[in-house]
């Protein structure tokens, strides 16, 4: 009976998709100016308005563990070097990050430096004219006291400019760390500025948003984190937020998740890069230590699916992208080159099923989408970067369909992952005899949450993570099954993380 239950739970609602082998075709090569230059950032942009992206790469160079210069190189899509800007730096004023910004017909270079003078750290923001490199404006953020490892430090995690009619809204994501032990305290913030008439004006500080950002045209998804270390150990919270470019910014916290392992923060990753279907299909979060892939609805109120099946093991995810084709909607991600044979996997975005797992000849550091919707797979090789594209299209044996709440007995739980409790909500189309049970991944029944005649409409029940005997269960994936009038209507996964 246990084997039968397990098979039923395992194969319910699985859609089979068959993909042929995927190959990548080399297009052009981007050489480094100096083979010892280290990559900092890479992006595509059409600043000159010729309807073709150029490639911009910022590098820095180390001399005895300190940066002695940084440079920004512009390439075309034939691999030709169009321009090179190199800026020497000093021990007291180290390079942090740079980005180009276009306003009307002018192009500006924004550069952030980490300045340490007389044991006081400052974040310096400089804007120069890109054409003649003359200074335009400069401002600073006081970070705090620092002496060697101890004290205040910062990282510039991203620079996100939004060009408006006569100004630029500028979002700078910062990680602020105070170190007095092994890990120290961490907070991630956005410093928002307005660049107007050659002046940079500070507007606001946005908490818990400075870790990473994802562009969705009408808004950005920004992740953030908070970490505190003390006598009781290290603990923190990971945040996912939606930000609309209003003044002040309209910030909506979509999700938060607590963690108690400082390494865990490095393992949270939103993998739906280059996404144009977020509002329909939501976003996918990868949690590395347990290899959990979790697909959330766009408002993060519902978990669409959870999968722990993967072949990348402990390698982690190096880069990822969404792929939309005539045959369906997929997510592709590449493993990091650490332990095992390099792999990439492709999942059906509608249900999380792996449709292809294949050894990879490339391990792109980043995957970018051009204004023509072509994907560039950027591979680090031969002291430079080889650009690949997909050879042909992704073909599958079925077409994608998205089920609707209106014509099903809908069920979901929130939060997911959860600790220590989660709320399971369901919507009944008509009155019926309801049975709601929780099972472990082996198909063994853990607890019955509900067994009653229920009226049509929306209902919810809290599961506190206990089994039928009242014992707190261990971390892991669990399934909850909704039966209506003796018929199985839905089986969903939830994840308990402690």
CB of 272 closer than 8 Å to CB of 331 = yes
The mean pLDDT of the chain is 86
* Closest among 353, 322, 327, 293 to 16, alpha carbons compared: 353
Predicted confidence at residue 22, as pLDDT, reads 84
Q: What is the CATH number of domain 411-496?
A: 2.60.40.4070
Please check the confidence at residue 413 and state whether its pLDDT lies above 80: yes
From CA 336, how far away is CA 344, in angstroms rounded? 9
Predicted confidence at residue 1, as pLDDT, reads 39
Q: Label residue 14 by pLDDT band (50, 70, 90).
A: very low
Predicted confidence at residue 357, as pLDDT, reads 84
Please check the confidence at residue 391 and state whether its pLDDT lies above 90: no
CA dihedral 305, 308, 310, 316 (to 10 degrees): 100
With a CB cutoff of 8 Å and minimum separation 6, the contacts of 396 are 17, 18, 19, 327, 328, 348, 355
Please check the confidence at residue 293 and state whether its pLDDT lies above 70: yes
pLDDT in tens, 440-471: 866 688 999 999 999 998 899 999 999 999 99
Please check the confidence at residue 379 and state whether its pLDDT lies above 50: yes
How far is Cα of residue 131 from the mean position of the Cα atoms in its chain?
Answer: 34
Q: Mean of the pLDDT values across residues 280-292?
A: 84
Number of residues that make up the chain? 498
Report the range of poorest mean pLDDT among 1-10, 63-72, 252-261, 401-410: 1-10
With a CB cutoff of 8 Å and minimum separation 6, the contacts of 345 are 310, 311, 312, 332, 333, 354, 356, 357, 358
pLDDT in tens, 322-377: 998 777 899 999 987 544 567 899 999 988 988 888 888 899 999 999 999 999 99
Beta bridge partners of 294: 285, 306
Give 447 or 5, the one with higher predicted confidence.
447
Burial of 209 (0-12, 13-18, 19+ CB in 10 A): buried
Predicted confidence at residue 4, as pLDDT, reads 37
Helix (H) or strand (E) holding 3: helix 2-11
Q: Mean of the pLDDT values across residues 40-63?
A: 96
Q: Label residue 279 by pLDDT band (50, 70, 90).
A: confident
CA dihedral 248, 249, 253, 257 (to 10 degrees): -100
Percent of all residues in the chain with a pLDDT value above 70, rounded to a whole number: 87
pLDDT in tens, 176-185: 999 876 667 8
Please check the confidence at residue 50 and state whether its pLDDT lies above 80: yes
Q: Mean of the pLDDT values across residues 20-33?
A: 90
Percent of all residues in the chain with a pLDDT value above 90, rounded to a whole number: 59
From CA 262, how far away is CA 235, in angstroms rounded? 7
Mind spelling out the 3-state secondary structure of 79-93? CCEEEEEEEECCCCE
Q: Mean of the pLDDT values across residues 22-48?
A: 96
Predicted confidence at residue 469, as pLDDT, reads 93
Report the range of poorest mean pLDDT among 60-64, 130-134, 355-359, 440-444: 440-444
Helix (H) or strand (E) holding 15: none
From CA 224, how far away is CA 216, in angstroms rounded? 17
Where is mean pLDDT largest: 109-123, 271-285, 436-450, 480-494? Answer: 109-123
Give the SS3 label for residue 470: coil
* Closest among 272, 316, 275, 274 to 295, alpha carbons compared: 272
Please check the confidence at residue 408 and state whether its pLDDT lies above 90: no
* Closest among 337, 398, 310, 356 to 23, alpha carbons compared: 356
Domain boundaries for CATH 2.60.40.4070 within the chain: 411-496
Please check the confidence at residue 288 and state whether its pLDDT lies above 50: yes
Question: CB neighbours (10 Å) of residue 60?
Answer: 21
Predicted confidence at residue 252, as pLDDT, reads 95
CB of 187 closer than 8 Å to CB of 207 = yes
pLDDT in tens, 216-239: 888 999 999 988 876 455 578 999
């Amino acid at each position: 009976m246990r084997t039968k239950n397990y098979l039923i739970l395992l194969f319910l609602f699985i859609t089979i998709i068959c993909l042929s082998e995927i190959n990548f075709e080399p297009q052009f090569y981007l050489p480094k100016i100096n083979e010892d230059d280290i990559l900092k950032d890479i992006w595509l942009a059409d600043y000159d308005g010729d309807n073709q992206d150029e490639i911009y790469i910022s590098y820095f160079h180390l001399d005895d563990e300190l940066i002695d210069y940084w440079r920004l190189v512009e390439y075309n899509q034939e691999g030709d070097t169009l321009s090179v800007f190199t800026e020497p730096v000093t021990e007291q004023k180290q390079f942090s990050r740079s980005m180009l910004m276009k306003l009307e017909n002018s192009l500006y270079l924004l550069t952030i430096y980490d300045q340490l003078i007389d044991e006081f750290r400052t974040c310096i923001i400089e804007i120069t004219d890109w054409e003649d490199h003359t200074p335009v404006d400069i401002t600073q953020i006081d970070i705090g006291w620092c002496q060697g490892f101890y004290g205040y430090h910062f990282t510039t995690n991203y620079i996100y400019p939004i060009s408006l009619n006569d100004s630029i809204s500028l979002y700078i994501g910062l990680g602020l760390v105070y170190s007095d032990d092994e890990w120290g305290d961490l907070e991630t913030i956005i410093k928002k500025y307005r660049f107007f008439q050659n002046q940079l004006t500070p507007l606001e500080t946005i908490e818990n948003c400075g870790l990473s950002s994802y562009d969705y045209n009408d808004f950005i998804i920004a992740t953030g984190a908070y970490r505190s270390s003390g006598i009781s150990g290290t603990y923190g919270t990971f945040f996912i937020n939606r930000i609309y470019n209003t003044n002040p910014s309209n910030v909506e916290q979509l999700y938060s998740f607590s963690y108690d392992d400082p390494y865990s923060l490095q393992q949270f990753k939103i993998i739906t890069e280059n996404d144009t279907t977020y509002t329909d299909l939501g976003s996918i979060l990868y949690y590395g230590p347990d290899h959990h892939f979790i697909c959330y609805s766009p408002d993060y109120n519902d978990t669409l699916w959870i999968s722990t099946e993967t072949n990348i093991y402990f390698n982690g995810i190096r880069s990822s992208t969404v792929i939309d084709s005539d045959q369906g909607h997929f997510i592709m991600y590449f493993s990091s080159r650490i332990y095992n044979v390099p792999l990439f996997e492709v999942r059906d975005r509608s249900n999380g099923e792996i449709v292809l797992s294949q050894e990879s000849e490339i391990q792109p550091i980043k995957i970018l989408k051009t204004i023509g919707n072509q994907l560039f797979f950027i591979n680090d090789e031969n002291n430079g970067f080889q650009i690949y594209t997909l050879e042909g299209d992704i073909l599958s044996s079925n077409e994608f369909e998205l089920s609707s709440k209106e014509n099903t007995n809908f069920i979901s739980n929130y939060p997911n992952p959860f600790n220590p409790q989660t709320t399971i909500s369901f919507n009944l189309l008509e009155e019926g005899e309801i049975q709601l049970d929780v099972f472990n991944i082996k198909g063994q029944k853990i607890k019955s949450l509900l067994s009653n005649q229920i009226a049509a409409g929306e209902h919810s029940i809290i599961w506190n993570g206990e089994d039928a005997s009242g014992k707190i269960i261990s971390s892991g994936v669990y399934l909850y099954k909704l039966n209506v009038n003796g018929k199985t209507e839905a089986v969903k996964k939830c994840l308990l993380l402690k």
